[in-house]
């Protein structure tokens, strides 16, 4: 069977696993996950699955919160099935920061005979275990405690290294367990964060299309459809999500896992992450350096998605002067740029400056070449922008769900919100709407308007 735009929407989640799938785009797709179980009572299957895998010495990893929510249950089940296990519970005040220290703590818990890691948690815990699992070549199984983010089915981890939010290679969990009975009891902020992460896919998918045009980047519309189907399924049942209905929570969890699979299919985060994520990363680092308690990933992504929707909406309404864009490109001042990065990124600046030397993002020639590519394809780019959901629509979805829309509501001040929009393109060398606006020398103007929209 060859994956195409017709059949991909009908695929059951487990049909994506196991073998390599041929695709209409010409690139074979695969994901190295053995099984995904999203249903009521799924946690009870953990011992049987470990036995099936032939695993005998488990390291159960949780934090003090997730241990209460599901870790205890997992330990009970393993004990009842006589599966040898050791338990490690991260003790941290507030949110667990997935940094060098947290990695080190986990590595120290691994025993010589540990042959499987059982994660009980979501976001950061999942990132930490996926990375350590890859490092020590011991497979992992995750019991998800919240449908809060799309990192379950991905083979990269977001860690904080040298103060910079960094994507590192890691290993998929072999098994993903989403017990709907557990997931639906997650704090509403986490459930809404999952929805925010899903809503972020609107601009992510459009950024991908734009980069295909401007940079001839590889694009797979079949994989993109996996993500857009996930969005539609979730946004059409916000009421159910709010009421924690089984079906809505299952669809949300499956949607998050599916977008993870989509990333794996193409080998990068394009189907799930674009400039809305970059803005969120900027805000996250600003909080970290200010010593402020971190916000949930999806909470920020949901809010930044309203801003990116506004940017998509503003572009067709803005008069673009291509000659001016070229002269601004020619006048690029590397020294001033470096100073700005240092001022805005603080402790993360050295990492960004190093990255920029590697990827040549400030090449004036390349920028001028992109400007002419944008000019040649302006109609196609306008069509993408016009087809994007309006800012009012994205905002209404968030408001309907009861999720925060204005950065201020969660403690992101106006200046940080705006700086994020202007500077986020430096977080990752990945072309997005923010880069396009910067190439056209209208980023600052539109960033101001877009962040004013949610002031
Ligand atoms: Zn494809
Ligand atoms: Zn995300």
> Which of 317, 307, 297, 305 has the alpha carbon at shortest distance from 205?
305
In angstroms, what is the span from residue 390 Cα to ligand 1's centroid? 28
133: how many CB neighbours lie within 10 A of its CB?
25
The whole-number pLDDT of residue 258 equals 97
- Find the ligand nearest to 29 CA: 1
State the Cα torsion 168-170-173-174 to the nearest 10°: 150
Residue-level length of the chain: 455
* Mean model confidence pLDDT for the chain: 96
C-alpha of residue 266 to centroid of ligand 1, in Å: 7
Alpha carbon of 397 to ligand 2 centroid (Å): 17
What's the 33 CA to ligand 2 centre distance in angstroms? 19
Token pair recorded at residue 288: 């970290």
pLDDT band for position 22 (50/70/90)?
very high
Span 202-221, mean pLDDT?
98
CB 180 within 8 A of CB 42: yes
**What pLDDT is stored for residue 167 in this prediction?**
86
Label residue 25 by pLDDT band (50, 70, 90): very high
Phi, psi of 108 (to 5 degrees): -65, -15
Per-residue model confidence (pLDDT) at position 162: 87
Residue-level pLDDT at 425: 96
What is the Cα–Cα distance from 210 to 433, expressed in whole angstroms? 7
Which listed ligand is nearest to 265 at the C-alpha? 1
Percent of the residues in the chain that have a pLDDT greater than 70, as a whole number: 100
Task: Identify the three-state secondary structure at position 22.
Answer: strand
Q: What is the pLDDT of residue 222?
A: 98
CA of 210 to the centre of ligand 1 (A): 17
Q: How far is the CA of 2 from the centre of ligand 1 (A)?
A: 9
Percent of the chain at pLDDT > 90 equals: 91
Cα–Cα distance measured from residue 434 to residue 443, given in angstroms and rounded to the nearest whole number: 7
Number of the ligand closest to the Cα of 226: 1
Per-residue pLDDT for 92 more than 80? no
Q: What is the pLDDT of residue 163?
A: 82
> Quick one: residue 431, left, alpha or beta (phi over 0 = left, psi -120 to 50 = alpha)?
beta
Q: How far is the CA of 226 from the centre of ligand 1 (A)?
A: 10
Residue 288 has pLDDT above 90, yes or no: no
Gyration radius of the chain's alpha carbons: 22
Kindly give the distance from the C-alpha atom of residue 32 to the centroid of ligand 1, in angstroms, as a whole number: 16
For residue 278, report the distance from its CA to the centre of ligand 2, in Å.
Answer: 10
Ion ligand 1 — residues with CB < 5 Å: 23, 25, 220, 222
Q: Which pLDDT score, from 0 to 100, does residue 235 have?
A: 96
This prediction has a pTM of 0.94
Q: Any idea of the CA torsion for 209, 211, 213, 218, to the nearest 10 degrees? A: -80
Q: Which pLDDT score, from 0 to 100, does residue 234 have?
A: 95
Which ligand has an atom closest to residue 20 CA? 1
Alpha helix locations (H) across 70-168? Answer: 72-80, 100-107, 123-136
Q: In this structure, what token pair is assigned to residue 153?
A: 């089915």
pLDDT tens string 237-261: 999 999 999 999 999 999 999 999 9
Asked if pLDDT for residue 402 goes beyond 80, the answer is yes
pLDDT digits (tens, 9 = 90+) for 308-331: 999 999 999 999 999 999 999 999
Strand order in the sheet with 175-179: 35-39, 175-179, 140-144, 116-121, 57-63, 84-90
For 23-64, the DSSP string reads ETTSS-B-----EEEEETTGGGGHHHHHHHHT--EEEEEEEH
Burial (CB count <10 Å: 0-12, 13-18, 19+), residue 110: middle
Question: How far does the centroid of ligand 1 lie from the alpha carbon of residue 228, in Å?
Answer: 14
How would residue 2 be classed by pLDDT, with cut points 50, 70 and 90?
Answer: very high
Q: Quick one: pLDDT at residue 23? A: 98
Count of C-beta atoms within a 10 Å radius of residue 43: 22
In contact, 201 and 80? CB cutoff 8 Å: no
Please give the DSSP secondary-structure letter assigned to residue 19: S
8 A C-beta contact, residue 389 and residue 198: no
pLDDT for residue 93 is more than 80: no
Q: How far is the CA of 387 from the centre of ligand 1 (A)?
A: 22
Residue 94 has pLDDT above 80, yes or no: no
Domains of the chain and CATH, by start: 13-186 (3.40.50.1970), 272-453 (1.20.1090)
Q: How confident is the model at residue 19 (pLDDT cuts 50, 70, 90)?
A: confident
Please give the pLDDT value at position 378: 98
Summarised one tens digit per residue, pLDDT across range 127-179 is 999 999 999 999 999 999 999 999 999 889 999 998 887 889 999 999 999 99
């Amino acid at each position: 069977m060859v994956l195409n735009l017709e059949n991909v929407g009908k695929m059951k989640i487990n049909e994506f696993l196991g073998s390599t799938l041929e695709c209409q785009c010409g690139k074979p797709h695969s994901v190295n996950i053995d099984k995904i179980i999203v249903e009521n009572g799924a946690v009870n299957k953990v011992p049987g699955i470990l036995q099936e895998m032939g695993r005998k010495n488990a390291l159960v990893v949780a934090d003090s919160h997730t241990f209460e929510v599901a870790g205890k249950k997992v330990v009970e089940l393993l004990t009842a099935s006589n599966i040898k296990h050791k338990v490690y519970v991260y003790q941290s005040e507030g949110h667990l920061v997935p940094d060098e220290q947290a990695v080190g703590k986990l590595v120290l818990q691994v025993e010589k005979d540990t042959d499987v890691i059982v994660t009980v948690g979501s976001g950061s815990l999942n990132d930490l275990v996926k990375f350590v699992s890859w490092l020590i070549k011991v497979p992992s199984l995750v019991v998800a405690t919240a449908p809060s983010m799309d990192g379950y089915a991905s083979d990269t981890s977001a860690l904080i290294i040298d103060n910079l939010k960094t994507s590192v290679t890691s290993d998929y969990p072999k098994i993903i367990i989403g017990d709907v009975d557990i997931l639906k009891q997650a704090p509403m902020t986490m459930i809404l964060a999952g929805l925010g992460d899903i809503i972020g896919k609107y601009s992510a998918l459009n950024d991908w299309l734009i980069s295909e045009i401007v940079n001839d980047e590889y694009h797979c519309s079949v994989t993109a459809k996996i993500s857009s189907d996930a969005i539609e399924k979730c946004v059409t049942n916000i009421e159910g999500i709010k009421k924690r209905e089984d079906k809505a929570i299952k669809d949300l969890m499956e949607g998050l896992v599916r977008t993870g699979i989509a990333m794996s299919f193409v080998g990068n985060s394009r189907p799930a992450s674009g400039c809305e994520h970059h803005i969120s990363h900027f805000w996250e680092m600003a909080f970290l350096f200010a010593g402020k308690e971190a916000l949930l990933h999806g909470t920020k992504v949901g809010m930044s998605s309203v801003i990116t929707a506004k940017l998509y909406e503003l572009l067709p309404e803005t008069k673009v002067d291509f000659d001016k864009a070229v002269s601004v490109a020619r006048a690029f001042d590397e020294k001033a740029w470096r100073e700005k990065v240092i001022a805005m990124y603080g402790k993360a600046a050295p990492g960004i400056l190093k990255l920029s030397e590697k990827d040549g993002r400030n090449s004036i020639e390349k920028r001028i070449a992109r400007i002419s590519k944008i000019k040649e394809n302006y109609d196609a780019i306008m069509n993408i922008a016009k087809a994007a959901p309006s800012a009012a629509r994205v905002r209404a979805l968030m408001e309907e769900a009861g999720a925060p829309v204005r950065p201020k509501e969660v403690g992101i001040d106006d200046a940080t919100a705006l700086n994020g929009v202007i500077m986020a393109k430096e977080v990752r060398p990945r072309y997005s709407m923010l880069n396009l606006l910067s190439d056209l020398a209208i980023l600052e103007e539109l960033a101001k308007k877009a962040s004013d929209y949610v002031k």
